[in-house]
């Protein structure tokens, strides 16, 4: 996911190898786009050494999570002789731009699409792509329903949330928990939002109350994680996965209950926004923030104490594997398969914290830095 934001971050893109190729200026005003394509050779890539056309369609390119996908996809494309076109929504939730990019991929005759979907509205377009023979790989978040894509490459988002929740329960050491749940949306349902939210509650030892919706857990009761204790859910607030959204959400939560001492954040930007609101209220030292992402800046926030823990993910790995899989398939290879026992290909997750608690396995920020992304 993640995931999915409005914060600006400037990252260097790696250079696509400079063969005798042209650079495609991508797709139009509404598309955040860049990509390499070969104007002189077919993108069909049906065999031999011909280029394979692949489209990478991201939520946005303002979030370093997705910038990391773009960077590593381009690097892999250069290795695999892939003509890669990159497009992205203008904001998180912008499905129309993604639909346009899907239709353009079909028109170009691309062999596959890699997509981090902005919502269910893209499903019909992805269905058209599959009917046209394109192989569709969802990245980071499975579409709803999952079979809209041929396969999903993702972190186990429920497990990522669960790691945070287990650590939060252990850190409380039996103390009462007053919990702010900073989710992604409140006006649409996406699996990453549900999985991370529910995973955190499950890690705390709280029944989410629903398999398909957020906010259905009992608003007070006992958590059973760690040494166990009592809890109150102070709020569920949408953040759009953004710093500004996280700050507004946290301000609203503090208005409803100033005694919050645990914050679940859908991603690092939402967690950063929450910290800004807590700092403005003079409460940052008394509240533990739990985030999910694993960027290099996120690891620094663990080191500084801004975040109590961060469940790390590997977005570049998802995109690079996707490029390679479509290239192999287009050249006569076999279709990729899911991880044994799961409905998707699991690219892994780990918990980063300053110290281990309750027998939980953690990485230190310095240990995790070798695989972090962004700046």
How far is the C-alpha of 141 from the C-alpha of 240, rounded, in Å?
A: 15
The 10 Å CB-count burial string (b at 16+, else e) for 191-202 is bbbbbbbbbbbb
State yes or no: pLDDT of 10 exceeds 80: no
Helix (H) or strand (E) holding 78: helix 64-80
What does the block give as tokens for 247? 């700050």
pLDDT of 92 reads 84
Q: Is the peptide bond before 145 cis (omega within 30 degrees of 0)?
A: yes
Q: Nearest CA to 214 among 232, 234, 190, 230?
A: 190
Q: Nearest CA to 52 among 65, 61, 42?
A: 42
pLDDT of 97 reads 98
How far is the C-alpha of 59 from the C-alpha of 266, rounded, in Å?
A: 15
Helix, strand or coil for residue 264?
Answer: strand
Find the mean pLDDT for residues 285-307. Answer: 97
The full length of the chain comes to 375
Instruction: Summarize pLDDT for 313-326 with one digit per residue, the tens.
Output: 999 999 999 999 99
Query: Strand pairing of 52-58 and 82-88?
Result: parallel
CATH number corresponding to 157-312+349-371: 3.40.50.2300
Please answer whether residues 114 and 323 qualify as being in contact, where contact means their C-beta atoms are separated by less than 8 angstroms: yes
How far is the C-alpha of 215 from the C-alpha of 149, rounded, in Å?
A: 28
pLDDT of 110 reads 98
pLDDT of 42 reads 36
More confident residue, 177 or 24: 177
pLDDT of 49 reads 61
Find the mean pLDDT for residues 205-214. Answer: 97
pLDDT of 334 reads 97
State yes or no: pLDDT of 13 exceeds 70: no
| Single pTM value for the model | 0.76
pLDDT of 182 reads 98
Instruction: Summarize pLDDT for 71-84 with one digit per residue, the tens.
Output: 999 999 999 999 99
Find the mean pLDDT for residues 337-359. Answer: 95
The percent of residues in the chain predicted with pLDDT above 90, rounded, is 81
State yes or no: pLDDT of 339 exceeds 60: yes
How far is the C-alpha of 197 from the C-alpha of 207, rounded, in Å?
A: 11
Give 191's pLDDT tier (boundaries 50, 70, 90).
confident
User: What value does the mean pLDDT of the chain take?
Assistant: 88
pLDDT of 122 reads 98
pLDDT of 144 reads 87
What does the block give as tokens for 291? 């985030």
State yes or no: pLDDT of 104 exceeds 90: yes
How far is the C-alpha of 78 from the C-alpha of 62, rounded, in Å?
A: 23
The percent of residues in the chain predicted with pLDDT above 70, rounded, is 87
23-155+315-337 is a CATH 3.40.50.2300 domain:
yes
DSSP string, 271-298: HHHHHHHHHHTT-GGG-EEEEEE-BHHH
Give 36's pLDDT tier (boundaries 50, 70, 90).
very low
State yes or no: pLDDT of 34 exceeds 80: no
Q: According to CATH, where is 3.40.50.2300 located in the chain?
A: 23-155+315-337, 157-312+349-371
pLDDT of 5 reads 37
**265 DSSP β-pair partners:** 182
More confident residue, 51 or 31: 51
Give 233's pLDDT tier (boundaries 50, 70, 90).
very high
Give 11's pLDDT tier (boundaries 50, 70, 90).
very low
Give 374's pLDDT tier (boundaries 50, 70, 90).
confident
């Amino acid at each position: 996911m993640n995931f999915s934001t409005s914060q600006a971050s400037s990252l260097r893109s790696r250079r696509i190898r400079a063969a005798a190729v042209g650079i495609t200026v991508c797709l139009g005003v509404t598309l955040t786009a860049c990509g390499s394509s070969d104007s002189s050779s077919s993108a069909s890539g049906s065999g031999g050494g011909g280029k394979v056309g692949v489209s990478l369609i991201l939520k946005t390119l303002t979030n370093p999570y997705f910038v990391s996908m773009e960077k590593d996809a381009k690097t892999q494309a250069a290795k695999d002789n892939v003509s890669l076109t990159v497009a992205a929504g203008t904001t998180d939730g912008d499905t129309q731009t993604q639909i346009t990019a899907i239709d353009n991929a079909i028109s170009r005759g691309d062999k596959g699409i890699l997509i981090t979907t902005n919502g269910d509205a893209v499903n019909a377009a992805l269905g058209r792509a599959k009917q046209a023979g394109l192989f569709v790989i969802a990245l980071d978040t499975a579409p709803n329903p999952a079979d809209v894509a041929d396969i999903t490459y993702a972190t186990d988002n429920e497990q990522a949330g669960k790691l945070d929740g287990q650590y939060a329960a252990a850190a409380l050491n039996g103390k009462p928990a007053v919990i702010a749940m900073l989710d992604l949306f409140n006006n649409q349902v996406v699996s990453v939002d549900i999985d991370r939210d529910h995973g955190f509650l499950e890690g705390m030892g709280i029944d989410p109350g629903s398999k398909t919706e957020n906010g259905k857990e009992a608003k007070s009761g006992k958590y059973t994680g760690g040494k166990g204790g009592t809890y109150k859910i102070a709020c569920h607030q949408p953040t759009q996965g953004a710093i500004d959204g996280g700050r507004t959400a946290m301000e609203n939560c503090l208005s409803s209950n100033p005694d919050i001492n645990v914050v679940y954040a859908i991603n690092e930007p939402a967690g950063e926004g929450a910290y800004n609101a807590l700092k403005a209220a003079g409460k940052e030292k008394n509240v533990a923030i739990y985030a999910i992402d694993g960027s290099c800046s996120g690891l620094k926030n663990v080191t500084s104490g801004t975040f109590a823990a961060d469940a790390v993910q590997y977005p570049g790995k998802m995109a690079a594997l996707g490029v390679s899989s479509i290239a192999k398939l287009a050249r006569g290879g076999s279709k990729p398969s899911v991880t044994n026992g799961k409905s998707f290909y699991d690219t892994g997750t780990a918990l980063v914290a300053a110290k281990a608690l309750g027998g939980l396995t953690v990485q230190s920020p310095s240990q995790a830095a070798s695989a972090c992304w962004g700046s």
